[in-house]
A and B are shown apart, each in its own frame.
Chain A
Amino acid sequence: MPILNASLDTEFIPEGDPNPQQAVVLRKSDEPIPANMAVWILIGAELTEFALFFIIYLVVRSHNPEIFSQGPERLNLLAGTLNTLALITSSYFVARAISAIKMNKPKQTVKWLGASLLMGASYLGIKTWEYFWNAQAGLDSRTDLFYTLYYYLTFNHLLHVMMGMCTLAWVLVRAHYNAYSSTDYQGLESAACYWHMIDLAWIIIFPLLYVLR
């Protein structure tokens, strides 16, 4: 089966085919949707929610530039960076889990999912440390508008991470009992896509709150 050239949305005929008329013609639109449509609707809804809060953050910031330029300076940049590294690595491990199941290696899949959950747990640990660190520095959600939005965004994201970890734990157990194979892994792929969505949201939260002053 030829590999579809992803940059094109046109039909693809493999080179050197002895009989072009009978060649397999693939269109990008013929490719199946990864995971299932319900998960993409959920992901769309979740990302829309985050987008609305990013827009609110930007509008409030434009009206309060001084507060928002000083806010990131008092945050724990190390914690934010470590959390970003943990989530990116976790996403990488999930991608490896999908790659392993496509090669029909369920034990490898379990291993990568376990590693991903470990990274998720690291995120929770770092976030807890960060919140304690903030409390000791006298920062809370009522300090000023920046910290109100900081706590709303990060705690909301934290809840999503916890929900994503529950989903990953569920597919890990199912993978352990050989529920997935190289031809049947839609449930695993759905959980993986949801987990990547959580990473995508953090990719914007991190620079917005910690980096851009």
Chain B
Amino acid sequence: MKNQTLTIYWAMLIALTLLSALFADSLEPNSWVTLIVCLTIMVKGQVIVDVFMGLKTAPNKIRYMMLAYFYVLPPMVAFTLIFPSTVEQITTL
């Protein structure tokens, strides 16, 4: 990975973090904010896995294991925040 590419992706990660902080500070919580924040988690995760860890050219088993984390958890977070009563029902013994 070229150093310039690493720097560009670092700047992108910084921008996404500041965007999330701005959302937290200025916007009232709603479903769209939740979805956008969860999307930023997925993008940030993919960038770190593929670019910083250099797994883009690694065998798929390792790469998919890492990416799965960011394809599964953020949607779970979004679902719980948008439909808390459904999750409450599912998890009530």
Report A's interface with B, CB cutoff 8 A.
Answer: 4, 6, 9, 28-29, 31, 33-34, 40, 43-44, 47, 51, 54-55, 58-59, 61-63, 65, 69, 72, 77, 80-81, 84-85, 88-89, 91-92, 94-96, 98-99, 192-193, 196, 199-200, 203-204, 206-208, 210-213
Say whether A28 contacts B17, CB under 8 Å: no
Contact, CB under 8 Å: B60 / A95: no
Q: When the two chains form the complex, which single residue of A4, A29, A43, A203 contacts B41, counting CB atoms closer than 8 Å?
A: A203
Nearest CB to that of B85 among chain A residues? Answer: A62
Interface contact A211-B88, CB-CB below 8 Å: no
Which label, helix, strand, loop or mixed, suits the secondary structure of the B interface?
Answer: helix
Mark B47-63 against chain A: 1 for CB-CB distance below 8 A, else 0.
Answer: 01111111111111010
Docked Cα-Cα span, A200 to B52, in Å, equals: 11
- In the assembly, what is the distance between CA of A192 and CA of B49, in Å? 12
Q: Is the CB of A92 within 8 A of B6?
A: yes
Q: How far is the CA of A40 from the CA of B44 in the complex (A)?
A: 20
Name the CB-closest residue of A to B34. Answer: A212
A58 to B91, CA, bound (A): 10
Cross-chain contact B80 with A207 (CB below 8 angstroms): no
Residues of A within 8 A of B51 (CB): 95
Contacts of A4 in B (CB 8 A): 57
Contact in complex: B17, A89 (CB < 8 Å): no
Q: Distance (Å) between the CB of A121 and the closest chain B CB?
A: 19
Can you spell out 14 A-B residue pairs with CB atoms less than 8 angstroms apart? A4-B57, A6-B50, A6-B56, A31-B59, A33-B62, A44-B65, A58-B76, A58-B77, A61-B80, A199-B48, A207-B41, A211-B23, A212-B29, A212-B34
Measured CA separation A192–B55 after assembly (Å): 12
Q: Which 4 A-B pairs have the closest CB atoms?
A: A62-B87, A92-B10, A211-B24, A6-B56
How far, in angstroms, from A213 to B60 measured CA to CA in the complex? 35
B32 to chain A, nearest CB (A): 12
Could you tell me if A34 and B80 are in contact, using CB atoms closer than 8 angstroms?
no
Closest to A92 in B: B10
| Interfacial chain A residues near B48, Cβ < 8 Å | 91, 196, 199-200, 203
B57 touching A6 by the CB < 8 A rule?
yes
- Are A33 and B59 neighbours in the complex by a CB distance under 8 Å? yes
